[in-house]
Structure formats: structure tokens, C-alpha cells
Amino acid sequence: MKRVLSGNEAVARGAWEAGVSVAAAYPGTPSTEILEVMARFPGVYCEWSTNEKVAVDVAAGAAFAGRRALAAMKHVGVNVAADSLFYTSYTGTEAGLVIVSADDPAMHSSQNEQDNRRYAAFMRIPCLDPADSQECKDFTIAAFELSEQFDTPVMLRTTTRINHSSTPVELGERREAGAGREKFPRAAEKYVMVPANARLRHPVVEERLRRLSEWVETTPLNRIEWRDREVGVITSGVAYQYAREVLPSASVLKLGVTHPVPAGLIRAFAAEVGRVVVVEELDPVIEEQVRLLGLTCEGKSIFPLIGELDPSAVRAAAAGAGLPVDHEPAARTALPRPALPGRPPVLCPGCSHRGVFWLLKKKKLAVSGDIGCYTLGFLPPLSSLHFCGCMGASIGVAHGAAKAGLKERVVAVLGDSTFFHTGLPALANVAYNRANVLTIILDNGTTAMTGHQENPGSGKTLQGGTAGRLDFEKVCHGLGIEHVALVDAYDDGALGRAFKSLMATQEPAVLIARHMCALLPEARRQYVPLTVIEERCNGCGVCFNLGCPAILRSDTLDPESHKPLALIDPALCTGCELCAHVCPHDAIANRDQMRLLEDHGGDTCPVGGAGGTER
């Protein structure tokens, strides 16, 4: 039976068909759906681990127990997990161990565009590079077999375009998961990586790579497609699809395995073609290997090094290099378009982070941020986040700035899931080395940016099993931080008071600003769209500075200032009331007033009069 599956769905399906027993991940675009899909299959234990390193340890432990296991992560997650991945290369495993690295060329939702095929070479492990969803499934199954055949972890390296494209896939049956071992292996020379043992394992790793280099010459994962021999393309992954589309007449060596590369096969292919051209996305990984063989080839001299390839980019580059393209690049029609306003992602209407950034903006503080929806606080009009590097970096950077003797206080801001990911050790460092850092934990009860996954603070797990619920206040107190406050993030008064009191101390402090993500179903049930009371609004524009997508500029102008009045889109407004609270003219009806309006049939305004709105 054929079904259209995304690359992520196909990886999950492949792992399940291969009899995987344990899968662990930390959510990260473009990899997240792999575990979300796998969690629905029977017979697989799946979890959101607290971070990618832990996920790899979990998968390794399961593989040591003789059960096939998989860890999935986005490319930068491999950085977090690298320490663990390197030991798995030395120890090997008792059952198939597959690491999925989902790279993100073009940085659709990432902080860099590192090419993780480099990691596979660095770790001396095989790297498989699928080119569509069918290959995602087939290569995942092959990766488990390869892992067991060579006693090595295997990297399945995808890219956003593979993860998030859907193509038809032939479904198969599940191979029953093996019984596994009864006991944890007792083989110190293999699993205890002290120097004496590791020195014995390194030659084993190098010998394994030598044997893999032989295997890779004949595996069907690599193949030659002979066509015209004037041009011979060497390619892998999604770049294969672009090469086939744009250079349909060229012979192709398609590498399903990008580490190690098949030296003999490449030599034989190069000998038969006039011009060797490597088409690959990001780094010249294959190209460098071809050159190391002493062969002449072209690659990054023709195709872009930076960003994601697409058929137009490949066609333009190939045509420029005189390669036999399917057709000339399309001429650009001059379009009578003005410069278009951008549509950047923004904090949603009702986002519980908005009030915190409003406060930080008013206080003109330097803010060390982190990875999550709240990174969007850097955008105008809030513009109140001044650093974001990687997961968990907010607290350490604020600490370092404080220890450097900066006159200005730097506030660290990070989300609930990010706090447990890598914020926790950084906060322990603040507690230990005592800096006057205020850490604000934006607790919206979910891992929102990647699509609302559970985390240790939400008290639920991926598969709905027994879950612990970690208490932020207790954790902070347990670390020895005395000054901890918990407030409702919608209560801007309480937020301001707690902030003031915590900033008064010169000791480590934590402010937990809690309110559930406005996109969660439970939050949606509580929406009460607000409205602007036009006779009070004078178009001062304070509410526009909140950057709330539900607040628009009305076509009605204030008769005196001639500025547009505010207008609230009832289809977008959640009724968080932040705008009602910041409005200096009490011109936005709050939730209680809205209910009164409804009770009065909406045709009279009961909120007028000298009393004004209540706070």
C-alpha cells in the first residue's frame, strides 16, 4: 500500500518497521514530528527527553540493553549531544542505534546552517542521506541493520526539505522487536571509556571505518545512473532531485552514504565521464572527498555554498557553467509591485510573554534571551531582547556580563522547556558563583515554538504515561536561590511589583512569569475579544507599541490629532487585557465590561461615566 508521507513520518514508519523499541528526542524544527508520529505506533517507548544529550544517552542505554533505539534532533541538537555521540562511536552497541540529524539549510528556524555530515566523519560513523520519503523509510531500516553489522551508531542525516516534503511511500510490516538482553552488558573493555580502555577502542573504531569503506563500494544505497557521459554528476539527498530535474541528460552517481564515500566507485564513475560535477547543499563535503582522491571536479565553484538549493538556483548556476540544463532559466517579468511590507513571525495575540517584554522595555534593561517563541521579543515594536545564541545560553551570558563588572544589570529570559533543557546547569552556576543575575522564566506550560510538546514543567509525557511535574520554585530554592517570585504573567501589576523587589537585591534571583500559552485548547476556551471605546480613544498609539497582531489602525481618525484610532480585530483578540491596562485613556473595554456589553445586547455602552475602568 502506498501512502503520501512526509520525510519525518517516513523515518518514524521506517524505525517502527525495523522493530525499534525505544526512541527519544528533544523537539526541534525540522525534526519534531518524527517522535510525535512514532509515539502513536504500538510497541515503541517514546519520550521527550530534557535535551538532546540526554536523548542520546537514553537511546544508547536501550541499545546497550539489546533493543533497537533511535534518537532524533535538529542539527544544533547534535552539538548538545556531541559528547555522548562520541562515546557511542567508541563503545559501539548491542543493538541498532540510529541518530537522526535534521539539518536546516536556509535556517528556516535555526541559528546557523551547520552541515552535520561533518559530524559523521568527525565521529567515524556512517552517514546516510535520503533523497525522498521512500528513502527516509528504507534508509532508516538500513541504518539499524548497518549499526548492528558494524557495531556502530549510524547517523541518518536529513534536511528541512526532506523532513517537510511528502512523497508516496510503500508501507511494510513491522519486524518484531528482538527480546533484547536480560542484563546490562558487563564488558568493561568495551563500555567503560577510561583512558586504558578507550586507547584499545580507538583502533577498533579506525578498523571499523576501514571495513565500512569496503562495504560502501557495493551497497545498493549508492548507485550509478548512466545517461550521457559528457557530464557526470555526483550528488546526494535533496540535491539529487534538483540535479535530476535540471540536468536530465547527465549521468549521476547518487550517494546514499555520504560518509565514508566509495572511493573506488567515484574513481570508476569519474573515469567514464567528461566533466565531474558535484551538486550538494551547504558544505563541499563530497567535493572535498573527490579532490582527496586526486580527481578533478567542480562543485562550489558553480553552486552556492550558502543557503538552501532549489531548482531555479541550480538551473541558473548550471546554465552559467555551460552545463546541459533542461531549459534556460526563466526570464524575470518586471512586476509593478511596490516594496511589500514584511510578515515576520510575531508574538501571538494573548501571548503571555508580551507583558514581560513590555515591562523590560519600559525599564530599558539589557536582556539576554534564549531559544523559543519569546526570542521574537527582539522585534520592533517591543525590541527588548538583545542576545540570543543557543539553547540555555541566556543565563550564562548574563552571569558573565555581571562578573565582567558591567554597570548595567543584564536580565536573563528563557522559557520553561528551555530552562530544563540547559538553563538548569547555568542557573546552578549563578547560584554557586553568586552573580546578581535576575533570571525570568517565562512559563507558558508547554514547548510552544515547536508545536506544543510536553516538558518536565507541564506534568505530562509524550505518550501520556506517568509523569513527574517539576516545580520551578522548589528547584530554584533547592539550588540555594533565596529570592524567587511566582506571578501570573497576565497580572502586569503583580509582575511590576515582583520585578522591583527582585531587582532590589544584589543576589541571584528568579522571577517565574506563568500563564498558559494562548494557543492551547484550554486557553482558547477562555477567549473574550475586547473592543475599543471609540469616544475615549484619541489615537495616541501606545497600544500599537505592544506589537499585538489583534490591534489595528482604524480608518477613523481622531478629530483633533488626526491620528488613526485603535481597532481590535475580534477574530484575533483573546482578551488578555494587556492593551486595556496600558491604555492611558481607559479606551479599551476589559473582559468584565465586555460581558456587560454582551448582556446589554451590545447596543449601549455601560462602561462610560466618571468611574472609568477598574484595575
Residues in touch with other proteins (CB under 8 A): 2, 4, 29-30, 108-109, 132, 160-161, 164-168, 238, 241-242, 244-245, 310-312, 315, 330-338, 340-348, 373, 376, 380-381, 449, 451, 519, 544-549, 551-553
How far apart CA 153 and CA 206 sit, in angstroms, is 14
Question: For residue 604, what is its C-alpha cell?
Answer: 449601549
> Which residues are 442's β-sheet partners?
415, 513
Which residues lie closer than 8 Å to 611 by C-beta, 6 or more apart?
Answer: none
The residue (of 166 and 526) whose beta carbon lies closer to other proteins is 166
The residue (of 96 and 377) whose beta carbon lies closer to other proteins is 377
The residue (of 26 and 144) whose beta carbon lies closer to other proteins is 26
Cα angle at 154 between 177 and 200, to 5 degrees? 105
CB 262 to other proteins: min, Å: 23
3-state secondary structure of 105: coil
The residue (of 134 and 258) whose beta carbon lies closer to other proteins is 134
The residue (of 58 and 449) whose beta carbon lies closer to other proteins is 449
Chain-centre distance for alpha carbon 368: 19
Which residues lie closer than 8 Å to 345 by C-beta, 6 or more apart?
Answer: 376
End-to-end CA distance of the chain: 61
Cα angle at 147 between 21 and 31, to 5 degrees? 60
The residue (of 179 and 331) whose beta carbon lies closer to other proteins is 331
Residues 45, 68 contacting (CB under 8 angstroms): no
The residue (of 238 and 587) whose beta carbon lies closer to other proteins is 238
What does the DSSP 8-state code read for residue 257? E
CB 486 to other proteins: min, Å: 26
The residue (of 93 and 167) whose beta carbon lies closer to other proteins is 167
> Which residue in the block uniquely carries the three cell numbers 554557586?
432
Closest CA to 476 of 488, 484, 468: 484
CB 281 to other proteins: min, Å: 12
CB 238 to other proteins: min, Å: 7
CB 552 to other proteins: min, Å: 5
How far apart CA 516 and CA 443 sit, in angstroms, is 7
- SS3 for 470-508 is CCHHHHHHHCCCCEEEEEECCCHHHHHHHHHHHHCCCCC
CB 603 to other proteins: min, Å: 23
The residue (of 190 and 315) whose beta carbon lies closer to other proteins is 315
CB 4 to other proteins: min, Å: 6
Chain-centre distance for alpha carbon 55: 15
The residue (of 207 and 245) whose beta carbon lies closer to other proteins is 245
The residue (of 235 and 593) whose beta carbon lies closer to other proteins is 235
CB 204 to other proteins: min, Å: 40
CB 57 to other proteins: min, Å: 27
Closest CA to 56 of 119, 8, 111: 119
The residue (of 194 and 339) whose beta carbon lies closer to other proteins is 339
> Which residues are 28's β-sheet partners?
none
Closest CA to 262 of 286, 227, 230, 295: 286
Closest CA to 353 of 285, 443, 438, 462: 443
How far apart CA 509 and CA 484 sit, in angstroms, is 6
CB 335 to other proteins: min, Å: 5
The residue (of 42 and 336) whose beta carbon lies closer to other proteins is 336
* 407 φψ region: left (φ > 0), alpha (ψ -120 to 50), beta (else): alpha
CB 446 to other proteins: min, Å: 12
Closest CA to 36 of 17, 8, 74, 57: 8
Question: For residue 165, what is its C-alpha cell?
Answer: 516534503
CB 589 to other proteins: min, Å: 19
> Which residue in the block uniquely carries the three cell numbers 546541459?
324
CB 390 to other proteins: min, Å: 17
Residues 97, 50 contacting (CB under 8 angstroms): no
How far apart CA 7 and CA 507 sit, in angstroms, is 49
